[in-house]
Amino acid sequence: GVLSKGRVRCPWHGACFSIGTGDIEDFPGLDSLPKFQVKIEKEKVYIRASKQALLTQRRTKVMAKCISISNYSISSTNVLIIGAGAAGLVCAETLRQEGFSDRIVMCTMDRHLPYDRPKLSKSMDSHSDQIILRPKEFFRTNDIEVLTETQVAAVDVKNKIAVFKDGFKMEYNKLLIATGSMPKALSCKGKEVENVFNIRTPEDANRVVKLASSKNAVIVGASFLGMEVAAYLTEKAHSVSVVELEEVPFKKFFGEKVGQALMKMFENNRVKFYMQTEVSELREQEGKLKEVVLKSGKVLRADVCVIGIGASPATGFLKQSGINIDSKGFIVVNKMMQTNIPGVFAAGDAVTFPLALRNNKKVNIPHWQMAHMHGRIAALNMLAHGMEISTVPYLWTAVFGKSIRYAGHGEGFDDVIFQGDLDELKFVAFYTKVFLFPLRDPGIIPSVSFPPAEVMASGRVIRKRDVETGDMSWLTGKGS
């Protein structure tokens, strides 16, 4: 990993840990690292620890116990968390880690305890018990209540009451809204045909794999989810086809050249692309999907279809609440994840928040890592710590044994500078855009490597000229 300013950044998923305490300081991840006694003599490093302790790969922070729940009525809580994804779970855990000893209730429309949703498209055979973030015993031990298959229909912020779909009402003192997003559906003829899926649950993913086995799979949308599903199904299905409006996959994020290189890798793995077109009809036979008809006129054989054409924030239930929602449906929060209503916080995919990296412009970043950080910042500010969000956004995916990592946040770019071999998919791409800040040079918004993420985290702007020369000494802080 990258060692910088007292912390080490994991080379796999970018989480950061203090080298003094082992505590996790940036995400993703729930647990910290164990700490050992170290002594250095001349050229040798001595670690003092039991063999059993050395085998321990993680350390769960100590958490406070809840005071007797019998003090509360079933319809009241101290902190209510709507949504049980990464943001909601990290919020609940942070509250306990910081000594919060009142009641915490999480509620989710899902039937499962919080789980690793990004794995649904990366490891589609996984069952819920394999991808849950914490076992049932964890919630019981740490007095975190989780209400599954429960939907909040409205929030009364004046009286601090959440109204559930079944009419049940729950009072709260502090509220976190972390409802995430809902996948967009096709609007074409035949959209209700059987065996057409959005990947939302482990059951969805498992069913797709079963239906695709030795059959024909069509993925609509070359999104991260769509491309991950396509990659996973290549060894299972008879054929895998991807339908996309753009000319190349990932064009919005990675640009045309990287998109073409990745598209070639997929084609070499038997994935067929139908670009610059969309679905006009889903045809059935005996009620089940048989063909996908494209606007280009092409007809694709299909036994199963996965839709990955984007998502919308799941905030419809807040329309009459008085909580500030922008024109796209995102909840607007400040640097402390606080909404315009005192005591009401929001986090995760459903929010726009000020990003320091973009001069505090309000942005929506639906990344797994960002949801973790949002949850922690919200919890700290529920406890009046006055903590502002400060992190470098990043995302990752892995397809066909290749790991793709993207650090920073860009909304368009003027140029792409490559270091390495793009054709061999062994490269770093720097996406540059001129933007105006007082006394600052034109900078680089994102990059696909972790050392640049650490440079960004230090507050330094990476300049275009830093990477154009090919001299990468600035990564280690040795450059001028």
* Distances from the Cα of 228 to the Cα of 195, 265, 399, 401, angstroms: 19, 13, 6, 12
355: which strand partners? 361
Separation between Cα atoms, residue 218 and residue 193, nearest integer Å: 14
Q: Do domains 2-54 and 196-309 have the same CATH topology?
A: no
3-state secondary structure of 355: strand
**Chain mean position to CA 41:** 43
**Residue 227: other Cβ atoms inside 10 A:** 25
Count of positions (residues) in the chain: 480
Question: Residue 454: its pLDDT value, please?
Answer: 66
Question: Which ranges of the chain have pLDDT less than 50?
Answer: 436-450, 478-480
Q: Identify residue 151 by its one-letter amino acid code.
A: Q
Residues 6+ apart with CB under 8 A from 354: 334, 335, 360, 361, 362, 363, 389
Interior angle at CA 105, CA 101 and CA 106, nearest 5: 130
Answer whether the bond into residue 354 is a cis peptide, omega within 30°. Answer: no
Question: Residue 440: its pLDDT value, please?
Answer: 33
Domain 2-54 CATH class label: mainly beta
Are the CB atoms for 431 and 452 separated by under 8 Å? no
Question: Residue 456: its pLDDT value, please?
Answer: 67
Match 């505090």 to its residue by tokens: 360
Separation between Cα atoms, residue 255 and residue 248, nearest integer Å: 9
* Distances from the Cα of 465 to the Cα of 1, 288, 443, 469, angstroms: 26, 56, 9, 7
pLDDT in tens, 228-264: 999 999 999 999 999 999 999 998 888 999 999 999 9
Separation between Cα atoms, residue 412 and residue 410, nearest integer Å: 6
Structure token digits, residue 230:
């396509």
CATH number of 69-182+312-382: 3.50.50.60
Match 């994991």 to its residue by tokens: 10
Are the CB atoms for 182 and 314 separated by under 8 Å? yes
Question: Residue 412: its pLDDT value, please?
Answer: 81
**Chain mean position to CA 20:** 28
Q: What HEC string does 217-259 produce?
A: EEEECCCHHHHHHHHHHCCCECEEEEEECCCCCCHHHHHHHHH
CA atoms within 13 A on the CB side of 102: 12
Fold of 196-309: FAD/NAD(P)-binding domain (3.50.50)
Residue 445: exposed, middle, or buried by beta-carbon count in 10 A (0-12, 13-18, 19+)?
A: buried
Going from N- to C-terminal start, the domains of the chain cover: 2-54, 69-182+312-382, 196-309, 410-476
Question: Residue 475: its pLDDT value, please?
Answer: 58
Question: Residue 287: its pLDDT value, please?
Answer: 87
Q: What is the pTM of this model?
A: 0.90
Question: Residue 323: its pLDDT value, please?
Answer: 98
Q: Which helix (H) or strand (E) holds 292?
A: strand 288-294
